[in-house]
Each structure stands twice: as structure tokens, then as C-alpha cells.
Amino acid sequence: MVELTVVAKLDLSTQDKERLERTLEVFTAACNAISQVSFAERCFHPVALHHLTYQETRQRLDLPANYTACAIRRVAKAYKIIKTQKQPVKPLTFKVQSLDLNARLFRLFLKDDAVWVSIAACDGKRIKCAVKAGQRYLPILRASKPTFAVLKRHRDGELYLHIVVSVPVPEPSDSPQNIVGVDLGEIDLLVASNGIKISGVESIERRKRFRARRRILQRKGTRAKKARTRLGDKEHRWARTYLHTVSRRFVDSLPPNSLVVLEDLSDIRERCKRGSAEQRAQFHTWAFRQLQWMIAYKARLAGHQVVFVRPAYTSRTCPRCGHVSSSNRLSTRLFRCRQCGFQHNANFVAALNIATRAVQAGLDGTGLSSTSLRLREFNLLSANCRL
């Protein structure tokens, strides 16, 4: 099973929207009241905090029991994150932006072949409305029975439901028929052995503009604190959307029943050093882990298998003769074997070697040898094609 978050817009009437807005405000007020008691009493455990604040919060704010319990868990979780990050514990203040919904506070149901939701309001009555989601996710919502969701107010002022659903991962019935190696980089964000190549230049230039804007705001000190927060949120939203687009484009290019081979890039930030401050900033904002995670779960949902292999020397090894040398890599993009003369794009060569490494490790289950894999990959390639 894979957990996904489906974002669905609520088709609300004006009256129902006002009731949900009021529920948001009361829930946030409960979180802030609980947060003050939690900080003052130094009580951060959810069970102890429940016994300390439950009755008073319900009576003072007239909040339903389930909303009160959700508010207590949210406050306890927020303080736990701060303690886990070993930051100084300060009193937390929550904004009127979202509220948590458990299985008793919301329920999905079908009405005229459309997906509807029933949400409990703070006045004790339930609000029923249709939800609008992408065509890709409507069948998932129809077949699932979610037990958790978050009601959020987005930047456009509308209310959206972020629904956590569990989706079964299809088990492949046969051994994979296609093996696709994936090389991730900074200049070339993704290069795959099936011919897909996605440049990272747009990502680099966009992140440079974000850093330049952040430097200007940092010079203004605390006066620009809110502006820096907005800028960081904007960069996070852009990066997430961009990586989703890249991963979707790659997964949609895969033939049926494929094996996706990714690099195990653990500790790469510690192993690889960069000289200048600009290079370090670019390298440490390279979101390879998030991109790998998006590719992995999308591929698994599409019925493909995903494995990770060690990346050492993949861009220095000749896929034709197996010769390994740092001098094979003439530049960031050009590979030319010193022994047999094979020449190609260095990142594409790395992707081929990554795919070969999965076969050598016996991770594909097909029984293919590394030689047969190379021959199959190179049938459509010229022996010495140019960049």
C-alpha cells in the first residue's frame, strides 16, 4: 500500500462556507489555548496534555469532542517536532489556515456517481457538499475509505480538502521486460537509458533568482521576516510542482512492466564537496531525494518495479568494454573511452551502467546477462555517435 494525499476543492454554498470558516477559527483558537497551557506547564506528551486541557477547552470554546482531541494532538506533535530538531522550545502560535479531520469528523460517499463529503461543523451539524478533484484521482476517491484529512484555506481564499488515501500497489505478475537506468544530476536533471533527457538549467536559474531575492531581504533584517517566509513558501511550492512534472513525464514514458533502476545517493552531500559559495548553494538545494521518491512511488503505482544500486564509477566506466578510468570523462557531458574509443553523452553512459548494475546484482529476475543487456541497449545506437 502507498499513501497519497489527494487535494480536492469543496463545492460549498455561501452559508456552508461561513460555517466551515467559523469551525476553522474555533479550532485554531483551541490550538492556541492548548499551546499556552502546554508551554506554561512544560507538558508536551499528548496523553498528559489531553488530561490537562481537554475539559477546559471543550467548555470554554464549546468545541466538539473530536475536534478538541485533534487540536491536542496537533499541538503535541508541533512541540515534538521542535524538540526533535533540538531547537529552543518557544510558545507556538497557530494561524487560521487548516484543521485536522479524523474518520468521525468527515466521510466520503457517492451521490449520482459523484464524490461527496460530509464534514462536522463546530455547531454540531454536518455540512455535505461535492468535491472536485483531478480525473486521475476520482477513481481512487470512489474506491477508498479514508480515515484522515486536513481542511485547508488556500491562497485563493477557497477551502480544499487534503485527503490521505491508501492505494494498493499492483504486484507484477511477470519478470520485467524493460530495464531503465536513471542518472540524476544538476545540469542534466534526469537522463534515462530509454532516451528521456530533462535539463536542469531552468531549475538552476530559478533557484539562483530565489537566492538573490533572499539575500536582498536578509540585509533588511527582521523588517523583512514575513517577506522571507513568503518567498520560502513560494520556492517550496514551485520546486514541488516542478519535480512532480519531471517525475510524471519520466514515468509516463516507461513501457509496460519496466524495472526502474535508481542510484543510492546516501551521504552524497558529505562525500562531494564544492568550492565556491555559489556552487555549494546550488548543490545543497539539489532535491535529488525528493525527485527519487516521486519517481519511485509513481512508478510503483503504474505497475513498475523500482530498485536502487550503488552509483560508484558509473560515469567513468565504458559500457562497451568495461574499462574504468577518470580520464574517460573528458568533461561534464562528454564520455570517450581511452581503450575502445566509444563516445557518448556522459550522463547517458551513466544511465546505461546503472541499468547494467541491476542485472549484475540479480535484481531484475530476468536472468539476462550484462552482455545481453548492453547489446539490447546499443542496437539502436551508433558505436561512436557524437554529442
DSSP string, 95-116: -TTEEEEETTTEEEEEETTEEE
pLDDT at site 284: 63
Sign of CA dihedral 325, 265, 195, 353: positive
Cell of 40: 506554561
User: What is the rounded CA–CA span in Å between residue 50 and residue 143?
Assistant: 34
Q: Cell numbers 469528523 label which residue?
A: 105
* 86 contact partners, CB below 8 Å, separation of at least 6: none
Other C-beta atoms within 10 Å of 165: how many?
Answer: 21
CA of 322: how far to CAs of 327, 333, 346, 357, 384, in Å?
Answer: 14, 19, 14, 12, 16
List, in sequence order, every residue forming a beta bridge with 258; answer none if it has no partner: 178
Cell triple for residue 260?
Answer: 526502474
pLDDT for the residue 268: 64
Cell numbers 546550488 correspond to what residue? 282
pLDDT in 10s for each residue of the chain, 387 residues: 778 888 999 999 999 999 999 999 999 999 999 999 999 999 999 999 999 999 999 989 888 999 999 999 999 999 999 888 878 888 899 988 899 999 999 999 988 888 999 999 988 889 999 999 888 888 888 888 888 999 999 888 899 999 998 888 777 767 778 889 998 888 888 889 888 898 888 888 888 898 889 888 888 887 888 888 888 889 888 888 999 999 999 999 998 888 999 988 776 666 666 666 666 666 666 677 888 888 988 998 888 888 888 888 888 888 888 888 888 888 877 888 888 888 888 888 888 888 888 877 666 554 443 333 333 333 323 232 322
Residues ≥6 apart with Cβ < 8 Å to 275:
none
Q: What ranges do the domains of the chain cover?
A: 16-97, 102-167, 178-378
CB 180 within 8 A of CB 194: yes
Q: According to the model, what pLDDT value does residue 31 have?
A: 94
Grid cell 509513481 — which residue?
A: 298
Reading the block at residue 136, the C-alpha cell is 486521475
Residue 49 is predicted with a pLDDT of: 93
Q: Give the closest residue to 140 by CA, choosing from 121, 163, 112, 159.
A: 163
Q: How far is CA 384 from CA 132, 378, 387, in A?
A: 52, 11, 10
Cα(54)–Cα(34) distance, integer angstroms: 9
The pLDDT of residue 363 is: 60
Helix (H, G, I), strand (E, B) or coil at 276: coil
pTM above 0.85, yes or no: no
Taking residue 245's Cβ as centre, other Cβ atoms within 10 Å add up to: 12
Give the up-direction half-sphere exposure of residue 109: CA atoms within 13 A in the CB hemisphere.
Answer: 9
The three-state secondary structure class of 7 is strand
Beta strand 159-167 pairing with 148-153: antiparallel
Q: How many helices (H) and strands (E) does the chain have?
A: 11, 14
**383 C-beta neighbours (distance < 10 Å), count:** 11
CB 355 within 8 A of CB 180: yes
Collapsed DSSP state (helix, strand, coil) of residue 115: strand
What's the confidence (pLDDT) of residue 72?
Answer: 94
The confidence score (pLDDT) of residue 278 equals: 67
Closest-CA residue to 151 (of 204, 198, 97): 97
Grid cell locating 239? 520546486
| 50 vs 42: CA distance, rounded Å | 13
Q: What is the pLDDT of residue 193?
A: 87
What are the CA-CA distances from residue 65 to residues 30, 50, 53, 56, 121 (Å)? Answer: 12, 11, 12, 12, 12
Q: What are phi and psi of 11, to 5 degrees?
A: -90, 85
CB 3 within 8 A of CB 166: yes
